Structure 1
Amino acid sequence: MQGSTRIGILIPEFPGQTHIFFWREIEALRSCGADVKIISTRKPGSENFHEFHNQVGDTFYLTTLPVLRILLFFVCNISWLLRSLSYCFKLHGGLRTKLRTTLFIPFSANLIMYCRKHHINHMHVHSSADAAHIVSLAGLSNEFTYSICVHGNLNQYGDNHAAKFRKASFIVTVTNPLSREVSSVLPDIPSSRIPVIPMGVDIEKFRPRTHKNQSSPNFVITSVSRLAHVKGHSFALQALAKLPNSIRFRYNIVGDGDMREALEREAKDLGIADKVEFFGFKKEGEVYEILQQTDIFMLTSFGYGEAAPVAIMEAMACGVTPICSIIGGTTDMITDRHDGTLVKQKDVNHITEALMYLLSDRDRLQEISMNARKTAETKFCHRRSAYKLFEHIQSVHTI
């Protein structure tokens, strides 16, 4: 590759509550020798003080527009502006869709100017929604190559995906089902342009605790996610309420969101409020400490919002047995009753059965937890994933 590898990573509303895995990727890419610049659309609506918070102060936000410079850019780059307008008006959908996309053109111009200033030769965008349009429009300048990472089912991220993907050097997907979904949008694209690369977890930092207190009468069950309806905490609470009194447990709910008050009320109504603790948002190190005391990790999401949940990877790396909905690519991640258990979406009885299967036999739970760690070591190392991404970026620029 000529010169140094200068990569721009575009992450919408960075740093958000669940964005620690993006930071891991950035650090790992830098350890590969890449010069990585962080770009975002706008600042998140609420502050989330991750351990890396003080290291992302140089994030460039596209919505901070230098209006006069943008206007001058349009005047000096008429051909690019015309290509961008053509891109917008060739999109499928009504006039409203086309006009809405033209509103991204100033942000794309801002991105081009930033890439010129910092000599960025490849953009990688962690979104297949509006941010992908912004990068695709900027890519019409032919001043850098770009790639897109798909993190979930395409129907959750708008439409006109063919337009976003067509000029991309490659499209990363985090699971095999998503790779097949991208192929269905662009059936002529070779599989080599749709690599499957999970985000990964730091398996050196997230490790099993050296000694588990097998004599403790209480099982510790934990969920880590945004407190949103689609995360399915309600089904977990209902399943836990159905456990026999002989099984003693504590349920840790880590994360924050609009559903907190409703979930607190539900725990009280189910008669298990004294067994449930709401921790709110926690930093990576604090999550690790909680996982160190955890026996079972629960993620009972439903719908289309999950792909390859990093929280599951973190739990498995810590040797914590997951109970996880069959959703997105979780069947790629977990082999049922070998390194975790898979449950049907919204099925309280099935979740209860999975809990009983694990909680009724400590030796079985221990064996599955050991298998979970082995799977994490094999599949979910974030450095290995970042290196694969780096190799793909390098291959685009290799002469």
Structure 2
Amino acid sequence: MKGYPRLSETFIAQEILALEGRGLDLEIWSLRHPTERAVHPMNKKIRARVTYLPEYLYEEPLRVLKGACWSLGRKGFGATIKAFWRDLKRDFTANRVRRLGQAFVMARELPADVKHLHVHYLHTPASVVRYAALLTGRTWSFSAHAKDIWTTPDWEKSEKMREALWGVTCTIHGVEHLQALSTPDRMTLAYHGLDLSRFPAPPESRPARDGANPMDPIRIVSVGRAVAKKGYGDLIQALAALPSDLHWRFAHVGGGELLASLKKQAQQAGIADRVAFLGSKAQPDIIALLREADLFVLPSKKAASGDRDGLPNVIMEAASQGLAIIATDFAGIPEFIRDGVEGRLVPPGDWEALSNALNLLAREPHARKSLGDAAFSRLRSDFSMEGGIDMLETRFRALVGHQQTKPEPV
């Protein structure tokens, strides 16, 4: 994977932990060291050994040189260099060279008993795994998610899918897009789902706040990286446009490149005293915040780069706490939230519609409870983790010849 561990990738940690619990032997290879101080409790339970490849080749030149020399003698070296050269001609960047160097290191250092490679994300991590698989003759597969689907060139996705045994992705929209670039049987829909055993039951009740009391304002929360595709600039505009008789507070959890500009936007809009940017938080802190909130908001949209969300796990995490949700009718979100049933959906990029939805739902505690209850019910019945893990376990066991064993408690 690209980086491990990462707080924003609880869905990957959940998958690894569940597969370990079913008796599969795993190793983790990461292109980057962690950049966050906090570590999710799930990552602390994962037993797999972690190996970090050199993020920049000049940082570990001897390791890269050993990998290159070893690779020269491999049967797959010629095919690897041909694939690399085709890639480099179409994308003449240092990034391409870096991925080849990382693949040399990975191919040399992979233990002999590693039989199959599986990569999360179809962009740069899959380039490394593809080259390493060509060098060593191993099979490989992938999980595609969001940015890697929508910002990777079609030629690159198509070629990688042609060489991989199979792939999975987490939204119908993503499956349809990738199937159009390959044969339909290469791609399978696999929702991440949630392991509800890791979450407390929703609160039995919430205060019936309606925004009328300045001493007890409506509590609005969002969790997500401060990047363009999350639409937080629209949310700041929507909050600033709320009527003066509605009393509210907003808390945002997450890091990201746009944090400074969002803080400035809130300051210029005159709402900085009601907006808190809390930075990255570990899962227990996020759950505590969700349990105390009245509304969860995620205004996702398509970024100028083409990047977009899949089905954000934070939507399901909010549902796990019976929290009313306002989001955009975009990407994979409507596959889980149906407007007026499990939440309220507004058009992406429409801050006025978002502001109106916030205003109306903030004043209706009974409607919030109905939507939150429905979201939790849908999560429990249709979006559990087990279906996706069952499919992955079956495929991995078929590849490595393991017999199914009784799952271990996690």
Which deviates further from its counterpart, 51-60 or 213-222? 51-60
Amino acid of the structure 1 residue aligned with 2:132: A
What is the TM-score normalised by the length of structure 1? 0.88
Q: Is the 8 A contact 2:64 2:102 kept in 1?
A: no
What is the aligned counterpart of 1:195 among 177, 188, 199?
188
Q: Is the 8 A contact 2:209 2:365 kept in 1?
A: no
**Structure 1 residues 241, 71: CA separation in 2 closer, same or farther (over 3 Å shift)?**
closer
Deviation track 1:199-255 (CA, whole Å, cap 9, x = no partner) reads: 222323333112322267532110111122332212112212222233222211111
SS of the residue 1:212 aligns to: coil
State whether structure 2 residue 202 is matched by structure 1 residue 212: no
Residue 353 of structure 1 aligns with which residue? 356
CA distance in 1, matches of 2:82, 2:399: 26
Q: How does 1:160-175 map to 2 (within 5 A)?
A: 160-175=156-171
Residue 85 of structure 2 aligns with which residue? 89
Q: Is the 8 A contact 1:29 1:387 kept in 2?
A: no
Deviation track 1:89-112 (CA, whole Å, cap 9, x = no partner) reads: 344953726x86354333223222
CA distance in 1, matches of 2:72, 2:89: 29
Structure 1: tracts of 5 or more residues without a match: 1-10
Residue 313 of structure 1 aligns with which residue? 316
Residue 14 of structure 1 aligns with which residue? 4
State whether structure 2 residue 103 is matched by structure 1 residue 108: yes
Q: Is the 8 A contact 1:127 1:149 kept in 2?
A: yes
Q: How does 1:139-178 map to 2 (within 5 A)?
A: 139-141=133-135, 143-152=137-146, 154-159=149-154, 160-178=156-174
CA distance in 1, matches of 2:362, 2:133: 53
Paired residue total: 383
Residue 50 of structure 1 aligns with which residue? 40
**Structure 1 residues 31, 58: CA separation in 2 closer, same or farther (over 3 Å shift)?**
closer
TM superposition shift of 1:74 = 2.2
CA distance in 1, matches of 2:264, 2:219: 21
Q: Is the 8 A contact 1:151 1:307 kept in 2?
A: yes
Residue 290 of structure 1 aligns with which residue? 289
Amino acid of the structure 1 residue aligned with 2:82: S
What is the TM-score normalised by the length of structure 2? 0.85
Structure 2: tracts of 5 or more residues without a match: 55-59, 403-410
Which deviates further from its counterpart, 15-24 or 282-291? 15-24
Deviation track 1:245-300 (CA, whole Å, cap 9, x = no partner) reads: 33222211111233223222322332322222221111000000000011211111
Q: Is the 8 A contact 2:220 2:297 kept in 1?
A: yes
Deviation track 1:296-316 (CA, whole Å, cap 9, x = no partner) reads: 111112213211111111111
**Structure 1 residues 235, 167: CA separation in 2 closer, same or farther (over 3 Å shift)?**
same
State whether structure 2 residue 328 is matched by structure 1 residue 333: no
Query: Sequence identity, in percent?
Result: 25
Q: Is the 8 A contact 1:203 1:376 kept in 2?
A: no
Residue 67 of structure 2 aligns with which residue? 70
SS of the residue 2:250 aligns to: strand
Residue 52 of structure 2 aligns with which residue? 61
State whether structure 2 residue 19 is matched by structure 1 residue 29: yes
Q: Is the 8 A contact 1:148 1:172 kept in 2?
A: yes
CA distance in 1, matches of 2:131, 2:260: 42
Deviation track 1:167-210 (CA, whole Å, cap 9, x = no partner) reads: 21111111011001111111xx233x311112222323333112
Q: CA RMSD in A?
A: 2.5
**Structure 1 residues 34, 234: CA separation in 2 closer, same or farther (over 3 Å shift)?**
same
Q: Is the 8 A contact 2:121 2:142 kept in 1?
A: yes
Amino acid of the structure 2 residue aligned with 1:108: A
State whether structure 2 residue 125 is matched by structure 1 residue 131: yes
Deviation track 1:59-112 (CA, whole Å, cap 9, x = no partner) reads: 2112266245314412431x3111101212344953726x86354333223222
SS of the residue 1:394 aligns to: helix
Which deviates further from its counterpart, 160-169 or 63-72? 63-72
Amino acid of the structure 1 residue aligned with 2:325: P
CA distance in 2, matches of 1:289, 1:310: 16
Which deviates further from its counterpart, 139-148 or 279-288? 139-148
Amino acid of the structure 2 residue aligned with 1:176: I
CA distance in 1, matches of 2:236, 2:166: 41
State whether structure 2 residue 396 is matched by structure 1 residue 393: yes
